[in-house]
Structure 1
Amino acid sequence: MNTDHLRAFVTAVDEGTFEAASAVLGISGSAFSQRVKALEKEVGQVLLTRTVPVRPTEAGAALLRTARQMTLLEDEARRSLGFRGAGDEIVTLSVAVNADSLYTWFQRVLQEAATWDDVELHLHAEDQEHTHELLRGGTVSAAVTETPTPVSGCRATALGTMRYWPVASAELLDRHRGDDGAVDWARVPQVDYSIRDSLQRSGLRRLGVSPRVTHLIPSVEAYNAAVAHGLGWGMIPEGMMPDGVMEGEHPDLVLVEEIGPTEAHLHWQRWTTGAPALDRFTDAVRRAAARMA
């Protein structure tokens, strides 16, 4: 397959429109369309929906991971062989990271990557229980995930453990206590990062209840602020805990002892393809994870 055609296909998926993708590649819209059509003609199937945003069809989704691997390998080969102009080419690494890692220990990866001038990072924030789906579907070439079993064509390495503690405003809990002093957990609002966030639901299962109200706050900073302001209770990583909560000295926030902590065992999964840029990034992830807090 022609890698120019594959690159056009991948870029269309990443950018969402043919217009934006053609601009990224520095070619005309008609030339871009011809590349996509040529690839579709070669495989004998429609690979992209002509919608906004552009999405891969079922056949396109099956090809996407291979297309990313081939374009990545071409970029690395051109650079290593010293092709004319190859030194100016940028290798794009698409990586899935859970939001809490991205906000804490993964910052050290970004700090190290800031010294590279040949790599472009496309980070996808997703719950750690679902990042492997992006890897399996070809959207990313590597992922921080809870899943230890390698996705086909990938290898997995244990990174470490993030410990989450259930935290709530004491005032919020007091508003939902019965005459016997027990908290009615079914009535205490819960804060989730997204609809796919299962940390809080898993915690409540230990008590055998389900919340009546669940707030969705898709921002780490806003999530922690929502818990601090008493909007609801939530799981907060130990590394982001407000001062005094763990010691029981915070003026309002308390640990919810009856629910207890939850641990997320994180793994790094990446393509087995030996691309130097991906190898370098993997080394940076391992170094950062060694200092996980």
Structure 2
Amino acid sequence: MNTDHLRAFVLAVDEGTFEAAAALLRISGSAFSQRIKALEKEVGQVLLTRTIPVKPTESGEQLLRIARQTILLEDEARRSLGFRGSSVNFRPTITLAVAINADSLASWFIRVLQEAATWDDVEIHVHAEDQQHTDELLRNGTVSAAVTENPAPVTGCRAEPLGVIRYWPVASAELLDRHRDEQGAVDWQRVPQIDYSIRDATQRTALSRLGVSTPTITHLLPSVQAYNAAVGHGLGWGLIPEFMLPEGVLGGQHPDLVVISEIGPEDIQLHWQHWSTTTPALDRLTEAVHRAASRDLL
């Protein structure tokens, strides 16, 4: 397959419109459309929806990961040979798209970004997603690597253990006191719960240990800082990583926040999944990820 056609296909998906993708390639809209049509003719399938934003069809999703790998390999080969040629499509940097869960992104993964700050030839595109679902982005070709709960490698990928994040169920003592019955027992059905997103099942799984499937109130806060602050202010109970807990909570010395002993800690094993076909840039990122995880994860 023509790599210029594959590059146009990938950029259309990433940018959302043919016009924006054509501008990045510095070609006309009609020339860009011709590249997409030529690729679709070659594979005998419609690869992109002509909508805004542009999205890959089912056939397009199957091709997307291969297209990204091909482009990455071509750019790495050109770089290692010191060859640019006459192609206006060659970029001076390598793009690595990765999927990271929010808690990792707000904590230990920052060490990876600190290392990446010294790499002049790599740009990192981060997709924030719950660790239960990051492997979906690997599967559909959106990213080349991901931090995920899933230990089973996605087809065409390797899975390597990183370590454990220990989450502690925490709530304001005042919040719990407002939801106690006459015998002093907490009515967990009525205690508000805080989820990171609608796809976040971590709290529901932990709460099920108390025989409660769905609390009456569930707040959604898709921000790590806002989530932790909301738990601290008594909006609801939530699971907070051990390294993000306010001082004194685990030892029982915090003035308000308490650990919910009835639920107990939740250990989440994280894995680093990445394409089996690696490049020097992807290998460098993988090494940085393992270094950072070894310092901060259990």
TM-score, with structure 2 as normaliser = 0.96
Could you say which residue in structure 2 is the equivalent of 1:261? 265
Could you say which residue in structure 2 is the equivalent of 1:66? 66
* Aligned partners of 2:181 and 2:187 also within 8 Å: yes
Choose the corresponding residue for 1:290, options 279, 290, 294: 294
Is residue 167 from structure 1 mapped to residue 176 from structure 2 by the alignment?
A: no
Choose the corresponding residue for 2:185, options 157, 182, 185: 182
- Which one-letter code corresponds to 1:237 in the other structure? P
Alignment of 1:44-123 (within 5 A): 44-84=44-84, 89-123=92-126
Tell me, in whole angstroms, the C-alpha distance in 1 between the residues paired with 2:184 and 2:142.
50
Is residue 211 from structure 1 mapped to residue 186 from structure 2 by the alignment?
A: no
Tell me, in whole angstroms, the C-alpha distance in 1 between the residues paired with 2:118 and 2:294.
20
- Which one-letter code corresponds to 2:242 in the other structure? E
Provide, for residues 191-240 of structure 1, a one-character-per-residue CA deviation record: whole Å limited to 9, x for no partner.
00011111100111100012111111111111111111111100000011
- Structure 2: stretches of 5+ with no match in the other structure: none
SS in 2 for 1:290: helix
Provide, for residues 15-53 of structure 1, a one-character-per-residue CA deviation record: whole Å limited to 9, x for no partner.
111122122222222222111111111111111111111
Deviation, structure 1 residue 271: 0.5
Tell me, in whole angstroms, the C-alpha distance in 1 between the residues paired with 2:180 and 2:38.
66
Tell me, in whole angstroms, the C-alpha distance in 2 between the residues paired with 1:20 and 1:119.
22
Tell me, in whole angstroms, the C-alpha distance in 1 between the residues paired with 2:224 and 2:9.
33
Choose the corresponding residue for 2:282, options 247, 255, 278: 278
Give runs of ≥4 in structure 1 deviating > 4 Å. 85-88
TM-score, with structure 1 as normaliser = 0.97
Tell me, in whole angstroms, the C-alpha distance in 1 between the residues paired with 2:6 and 2:175.
54
Deviation, structure 1 residue 152: 1.1
RMSD value, Cα: 1.3
Could you say which residue in structure 2 is the equivalent of 1:22? 22
Provide, for residues 239-265 of structure 1, a one-character-per-residue CA deviation record: whole Å limited to 9, x for no partner.
111111111111111110101100110
- Which one-letter code corresponds to 1:130 in the other structure? H
Alignment of 1:131-150 (within 5 A): 131-150=134-153
* Aligned partners of 1:164 and 1:238 also within 8 Å: yes
* Aligned partners of 1:88 and 1:118 also within 8 Å: no
Tell me, in whole angstroms, the C-alpha distance in 2 between the residues paired with 1:106 and 1:22.
33
Could you say which residue in structure 2 is the equivalent of 1:11? 11
SS in 1 for 2:194: strand
- Which one-letter code corresponds to 1:70 in the other structure? T
Could you say which residue in structure 2 is the equivalent of 1:243? 247
Is residue 130 from structure 1 mapped to residue 122 from structure 2 by the alignment?
A: no
Deviation, structure 1 residue 153: 0.9
Tell me, in whole angstroms, the C-alpha distance in 1 between the residues paired with 2:236 and 2:166.
20
Is residue 228 from structure 1 mapped to residue 232 from structure 2 by the alignment?
A: yes
SS in 2 for 1:92: strand
Of all paired residues, the percent bearing the same amino acid is 74
Deviation, structure 1 residue 88: 5.9
Deviation, structure 1 residue 84: 3.2
Deviation, structure 1 residue 151: 1.0
Provide, for residues 89-130 of structure 1, a one-character-per-residue CA deviation record: whole Å limited to 9, x for no partner.
211111011110010000000000000111111111111111
Count of paired positions: 293
Tell which deviates more after alignment, 23-32 or 33-42: 23-32
* Aligned partners of 2:95 and 2:125 also within 8 Å: yes
